[in-house]
Structure 1
Amino acid sequence: MIRRFKRPRWTCVQCLYAQRRANATSAAAARPSPAPATFTTADNDHDDQTLRRIFDSQHFWDEFLQKSRHQVGHKSAGLLGNRYLMQPEGFQTYAQATLLKCQKLVEKILAVETVEGYKGIVRDMDRLSDWLCRVIDLADFVRMSHPDRRFQAAATAAYATMFEYMNKLNTTTGLNDQLKRAAAIPEVLESWSEEEKTVANILIRDFSKSAIDLPDGARNDFVEISNEIAKVGSQFEANMAPEKPYINFSSSRLRGMDPTVVKRLTRFGTSTVPTTGSTAVIALRQIEDPDVRREIYVANRTASKASVKRLEKLLNARSRLAKVAGYPTYGHMALSDKMAQTPEAVNQFLEALLADTRPQVQEELQDLLDLKESDARSDNFPHRINAWDRDYYTSRLLSGLQTRIRPDTLAAFFSLGSVLQGLSRLFTHLYGIRLVPRETLPGEAWTDDVRRLDVIDDSGNHIAVVYCDLFSRPGKSPNPAHFTLRCSRAISDAEVAEYAHAPHAFASPLEAATDGMAAARDPVSGTFYQLPTIALICDFPRPAKGSTRPTLLSFRDVQTLFHEMGHAAHSMLGRTELQNVSGTRCATDFAELPSVLMEHFAFAPKVLGLWARHWETGKALPYELVQERLELEKRTQGAETEAQILLAMLDQRYHGVPAGEGSVDSTAVYHDVFDTFASVHEPAGTAWQGFFGHMYGYGAVYYSYLFDRAIANRVWKCVAGVLGDERLEHGGEEAMKEVGRWGVREGRI
């Protein structure tokens, strides 16, 4: 019934040659760079310029931040405005206060006996879900992102408390019975809005997935196993590590690698090379000695035994959960409420997509083989491309094709502030909203590097809040991520009035009703709404201290920021009265569509014309430079798509084991999938699956990225009527197979 509505974080997978693709049509390539857009409203222009400067000038940001300090002094406003969270120990107080509220509301729901009472039951259950998610989603974010370990520990404890309570509610038969009684009364059903009817169906389905119809013992098992999955999954995601963190070589064996990097790694003639991270990526692309590359590749693709063991423990728990819930596999359980519906449908999609992708992969491999045969050593398998050859020869191939673009050429036009400015301008054109910088109060943000952006519509109404934590710092995860901290929900006057005479930690009943986070009254309906609140996390390098040069983003960084802001747009534009259907609270295999679609906008000529200027000269970006880079991107698109397909297949295999059959040999399954379907086989001894962090948040639904990319291609090209195709209307096997035939290559219609 009560779901943890977290869109799993997008995290980079180092073994893939790249994760995201910019897509541009050939027709767009012929267009000249368009003139920049103009903004004539004085306030809008001021906000527009301020938006760029708070990210591009540290001096300007320091001055901007001090405004709030002078206004309110230095007393903490509480994390995100929540006064419970002025200190780490406040998390437990917050969790306990929320538990008391939830328990009272559960008692109210269970006591309903009248028709009038049943009319309000969906809103009460949605409110119950919202209260739980307020703590769970915020605690999950803080334990992953806050730099203070005390806050991390407190958030972890609060998360565990609320997650366990949520699982108990999911197996509370009385709540399920009351909801079904309400839905069976014609007068009640007729009184519900479409949102209420939709939420009622969602909650009834979720109760069914939570073994609600089984005996007490089975329901207790369901709660225990669900808690185990949350614990083990979090541990797996947070502690992924290689079996060999470093490998030593004589520095003379690193020939071809950037000398400045080699110097940094070398002491007394011995170079210590990290097996993961950017240094390993550079090594695999540049080192000439194939034996060195092979050793680095194998280490890069071999997770620690502890990581593999945690993954297998997670898979085993999911299999046991499926058995308790009465599903043949965990895959069937996870997909029952998704667009795909069944594992069979997902496999149809993946097989069709693999067939579409395979010819391009073979062409790419032949290009690499031609290059290798011209200089390969006789002892390095001269007539085939090995896994440890792929990055090296791809890098050489692209270097030979690249004629005009040095690594820093495009970046000079992509300052972080200008990209955010461009996103705001694009949103104004598309949706009539803009991003407005706002000073954070003391204690509101988890670090002074965080920039708060309020989302304002074209009538001046406040509709959402985005917290941007985009600069690197020690201990921070390098993986880009989007967190929905709170979704839209209508806050009734009666709900606010409940706090008028009740004790609370806030300055007003409205603040108490929203935990101090952003809220606004709708100018048309007069209804108060808690506003969607989003955190965007990236790991971009900060400018050198004292330098006027801003943070300059790479081509991939721009794609990443557009992708994550696509998720944010999905949340900020999803105003609904009930939070169960707000924004990213949707089927997981649809959640990536808005973000993938945003990637298409990133390098479209008209969009670049809105913002892409040289950080120093103000010169517009010549589009032919972008087009050359896009053409280079196409040269490896097949390999990258195949890699994603293989991971999605692996995900299905892991979650397709018959329920309750016991432990899975994840390494054997991994090699079987890659030996069967990969164009280039993995070396023996590798165990990359221990790095597959998506297995926790995207278990059995990793195909979503590819599925939504295929759909996004069609949406971008505006193929008339495609989404009205009868084969696609109800999902399932035929729909998935058809989408797989579409492919994910640009230019395919």
Structure 2
Amino acid sequence: MSILTTKFTTKHNTAPFSKIKNEDFLPAFTDGIALAKVEIEAIVNNPETPTFENTIEALSFAGDTLDRISNIFFNLHSAETNDEIQKIAQEVSPLLSEFSNDITLNPELFARVKAVYEQKDTLNLSPEQTTLLDKKYKGFARNGANLPEDKKNELREIDKELSKLSLEFGENVLNETHAFQMHITDEKDLSGLPDGTVEAARELAKSLNKEGWVFTLDYPSYIPFVTYADNRDLRKKMAIASGAKGFQNNELDNQEIVLKIAKLRFERAKVLGYATHAHFVLEERMAESPEKVKAFLQDLLTKAKPAAEKEFAELSKFAKELDGIETLEKWDGAYYSEKLKQQLFNLDDEKLKPYFKLENVLKGAFTVANKLFGLTFVEINDIDKYHEDVMTYEVKDVTGNLVSIFYADFFPRKGKRNGAWMTSYKSQYILGGINERPHVSIVCNFTKPTATKPSLLTFNEVTTLFHEFGHALHGMLANTTYPNLSGTSVYWDFVELPSQIFENWCYEPEALALFAHHYQTGEVIPTEYIQKIKESASFQEGMATLRQLSFGLLDMGWHGQDPSGITNLKDFETEQFAATNLYPDVKENAMSTAFSHIFQGGYSSGYYSYKWAEVLDADAFEYFQEQGIFNAEVAQKFKDNILSKGGTEHPMVLYKRFRGKEPKPDALLKRAGLL
């Protein structure tokens, strides 16, 4: 037995990262799968008549050792990977895919599940138990349990292939991100860049034994460069490099992989009796069907497009007047938007950053969570971390009981993918009368502290931190019986509600006063800055909405139809973007080849859910605004009906219980200035 398959003897049962070696993983996965198979066999061979307890409940808790190993391994694969871990992932993914199919395609096991499902109306189950039964039955039926043997085998082959392809896709994106460096030796090429960005580039160059400054495609380096660098040619170089990830006809090219993934997903859906992959996915979403999603996106497009075109025309005119730019290109967008924003609101990130020291913002998120939900966060140093940058906390409720363990990992490094996400190492569940508390983590890529400055966040990074922290609260405050209905285990187009609603507090004077203090003087952020943050919140919202919609439409393009006729990825994208395009096309760039959300993450046929959840979050936050943003009663209702309930009931039932009615898009359109 390896360290990963025995019971952890650590504080709060946390992962013993420092004792885990890469070579432990493969044997641990092998043992974990064997152990889970024994548990499944026990359910299948139980001589008693199938009941909810001996079949559905037993199945819900089976394989927890394997889940724990998977959580630790795949979280490291995203946040602290290396060649060895990537190699193990390639070996392990097909094994896990095969095991998952061994369960869903096991006829004896399905017969037991079906027997319980067929008598569900007579079983007197709680809402949570009813949901679990429904989910378990559909988990089999929707994944091939009713298929003849030859079709089951076809499904196995497709799933094995898909698991390998999505890993390969992600590794190519990561390697392409790290392959590019822009080395600058002439100081005049730094014109316009903030001091902090220049200092970080200097430190990176030093660490690489180079003179001058090095810029990369990691967000804290890339975003400031394309936003502030006066040198248009260098902005172009950076932007093209970023947009060309996976699209360079080299050994890291993702074009074939994308086409294969889209076609395999379609084939899989057909085998299961669905028209397309999107029909399969959306059956288990609030949106229900591709038709509904397309209508939703189209409706927003109709409302946002006139505003977006007007904003783009203003921006083009501004760039022409300022610098004689004849055609506004993609590498000009962020640069001139920032200049126009400064002119209109006299507000820029460099002015705001001193008020958003990372530690203060994190403390601010903690304070808001305390005022709303009575949580306290105590930093602890006696549990293991997987990297020295990670911070660890005990989260407690008002009576001092442990609510969760919380990990926070904020800085970019080699081996960590770009972006920001929330994840968990251990789900919450109740077993044998014990409420097992979750271990939750957020991972971001913010600017590292330098020799002279702490990590100071842009306002966009402040909202990112609050967003991921909202997801974390969904995980932390979970209070359900079954692990697979706990925390963020909800319909995908509902999962962004807790994260997106939490961003709203970043715009409220009452909340900002709690944490937005100047890192040198301690002065609270001036009221006029807060006013400007609020005023500028809907700046270029039409363009931003169009951008989001373009990603949602591209996703539906890949997954809402038969993709087998697509031979040229770039041509296909051009078609999909026709209705949303503002900038001239860049022939060297493609979106899909690095669109990790849908080709590596879980967002295939689900990218629309960001916008969908925005409708929910704007509507829900309006309730807070009406009653007071720290109103105890509204916060309690949100905690009881949304955050603690996980996926135990249909999201619309939960939402209406919180809000008293169904959401309307009016609050979102008003907030975005699109009404």
Taking structure 2 as the reference length, the TM-score comes to 0.82
Greater percentage in helix:
2
- Give secondary structure in 2 for the equivalent of 1:466: strand
1:363 aligns to 2:296 (yes or no): no
- SS class of match (1:464): strand
Q: Separation in 2 of the partners of 1:310 and 1:591?
A: 28
Q: Report the equivalent of 2:416.
A: 476
Aligned to 1:539: 445
Structure 2 regions of 5+ residues with no counterpart? 1-8, 627-633, 635-640, 642-651, 656-660
1:38 equivalent in structure 2: none
Show the 5 A alignment for 1:558-637: 558-637=462-541
Q: How does 1:189-588 map to 2 (within 5 A)?
A: 189-190=123-124, 192-240=125-173, 241=176, 245=180, 257-258=192-193, 281-282=223-224, 284-286=226-228, 297-303=239-245, 304-305=248-249, 306-375=253-322, 377=324, 382=326, 385-403=328-346, 405=347, 407-441=349-383, 444-492=384-432, 527-544=433-450, 550-588=454-492
Tell me, what secondary structure is at the counterpart of 1:577?
A: coil
Contact 1:78–1:84 (Cα < 8 Å) also in 2:
no
Distance 1:84 1:292, change over 3 A: closer
Any stretches of 5+ residues in structure 1 without a counterpart? 1-74, 493-526
The AA in structure 1 aligned to 2:577 is F
- The one-letter amino acid of 1:686's match is N
- 1:650 corresponds to: 554
Report the Cα offset of residue 653 of structure 1: 0.3
1:105 aligns with 2:39: yes
Could you tell me how far 1:477 is from its partner in structure 2?
2.9
Contact conserved, 1:142 with 1:155, CA < 8 A, in 2?
A: no
1:465-520 superposed Cα distances (whole Å, 9 cap, x missing partner): 1111223444433422211222111122xxxxxxxxxxxxxxxxxxxxxxxxxxxx
For the residues of structure 2 that align with 1:452 and 1:600, how far apart are their CA atoms?
A: 25
C-alpha separation between the residues in 2 aligned to 1:476 and 1:244? 14
Q: CA offset at residue 164 of structure 1? A: 2.5
Does the CA-based 8 Å contact 1:589-1:704 persist in structure 2? yes
2:574 matched residue in structure 1: 671
- State the 1:652 CA deviation: 0.3
Contact 2:619–2:665 (CA under 8 A) maintained in structure 1: no
User: Structure 1 residues 79, 358: closer, same or farther in 2, change over 3 A?
Assistant: same
**Counterpart of 1:717 in 2: which secondary structure?**
helix
* Conserved 8 A contact 1:349-1:737: no
Tell me: CA distance 1:423–1:285, structure 2 relative to 1, closer, same or farther (3 Å): closer
Q: What is the deviation of 1:606?
A: 1.6
Distance in 1 of aligned mates of 2:538 and 2:121: 58
Q: Give the C-alpha shift of residue 335 in structure 1.
A: 1.1
- Residue number in structure 1 paired with 2:594: 691
Partner SS for 1:540: coil
Per-residue Cα deviation, 1:198-236 (whole angstroms, up to 9, x for no partner): 111011112122121111121122122112212111221
String of CA shifts for 1:427-480, please: whole Å, max 9, x gaps: 122112221222234xx2112332211111111111211111223444433422
1:714 lines up with 2:619 in the alignment: yes
**Residues 178-211 of structure 1: CA deviation (Å, up to 9, x unaligned):** 1110133469722x33222111101111212212
Q: Specify the SS of the correspondent of 2:423.
A: strand
Residue 631 of structure 1 deviates from its aligned partner by 2.6
Distance 1:291-1:606 versus aligned 2 partners, 3 A rule? closer
Local SS of the residue matching 1:467: strand
1:317-376: CA deviation from partner (whole Å, max 9, x where unpaired): 212211222211111111111111111111001001111112321231232133234256
Q: How big is the shift at 1:710?
A: 1.9
SS at structure 1 position matched to 2:32? helix
- Contact 2:378–2:393 (CA<8 Å) still a contact in 1? yes
What is the rounded CA distance, in whole Å, between the counterparts of 2:354 and 2:53 in structure 1? Answer: 59
Q: Structure 1 residues 370 and 736 mapped into 2: Cα distance closer, same or farther (>3 Å)?
A: farther
Who wins on radius of gyration, i.e. which is larger?
Answer: 1
Q: 1:552 to 1:255 in 2, by over 3 A?
A: closer
Matched, 1:127 2:74: no
| Structure 1 position 182 matched with structure 2 position 88 | no
Deviations 1:101-147 (A, max 9, x none): 32222122212353575543221010125444323222211222236
Considering Cα pairs closer than 8 Å and 6+ residues apart, tell me whether 1 or 2 has the greater RCO. 1
Distance 1:554 1:86, change over 3 A: same
How high is the sequence identity, in percent, across the aligned residues?
23
Deviations 1:601-655 (A, max 9, x none): 1231221232332333332222321221343342222211111100110000011
**Using a 3 Å threshold, how does the CA distance of structure 1 residues 164 and 395 change in structure 2: closer, same or farther?**
same
2:610 is aligned to: 705
Change (3 A) 1:664 1:195: farther
Residue 96 of structure 1 deviates from its aligned partner by: 3.4
| Contact 2:428-2:483 within 8 A present in 1 as well | yes
- Mapped partners of 1:176, 1:608: distance in 2: 53
SS at match of 2:444: strand
**AA at the equivalent of 2:145:** I
Does the 8 Å contact 2:342/2:348 carry over to 1?
Answer: no
Q: Does the aligned pair in 2 maintain the 1:332–1:343 contact within 8 Å?
A: yes
Asked if structure 2 preserves the Cα contact closer than 8 Å seen for 1:571 and 1:583, the reply is yes
Matched to 2:23, the amino acid is E
**Cα distance, 1:402–1:677 mapped onto 2, change above 3 Å:** closer
Quickly say closer, same or farther: Cα 1:255–1:477, change in 2 above 3 A: closer
Residues 194 and 350, structure 2, Cα contact 8 Å, conserved in 1: no
Give the conservation status (yes or no) of the 8 Å contact 2:507–2:533: no
1:539 partner SS: coil
RMSD: 3.9
Identify if the C-alpha distance between structure 1 residues 618 and 542 changes in structure 2 by more than 3 Å, giving closer, same or farther.
same
Measured in 2, the distance between the counterparts of 1:228 and 1:79 equals: 35
Following the alignment from structure 1 to structure 2, what is the Cα–Cα distance between the partners of residues 569 and 402? 33
1:80 is matched with which residue? 14
Structure 1 residue 239: deviation in Å? Answer: 1.5
Secondary structure in 1 matching 2:404: strand
Match of 1:502 in 2: none
Distance 1:186 1:399 in 2: 61
For 1:273 and 1:538, the matched residues in 2 are separated by 19
Deviation at residue 589 of structure 1 after TM alignment = 0.9
Shift of 1:157: 4.5
Residue-pair matches, total: 622
CA contact (8 A) 1:110 1:178 kept: yes
Alpha-carbon distance change, 277 to 591 in structure 1, aligned in 2, over 3 angstroms: closer
Structure 2 CA distance for partners of 1:622 and 1:341, relative to 1, 3 Å: same
Give yes or no for contact 1:134–1:485 (8 Å, CA) kept in 2: yes
Q: Distance in 2 between matches of 1:105 and 1:454?
A: 32
Deviations 1:285-333 (A, max 9, x none): 4566767655654444333231222222221221221122221111111
CA distance in 2, matches of 1:87, 1:155: 14
Question: Are the aligned partners of 1:465 and 1:533 in contact in 2 as well (CA < 8 Å)?
Answer: yes
The answer to whether the aligner puts 1:143 opposite 2:94 as a matched pair is no
Q: CA deviation at 1:662?
A: 5.9
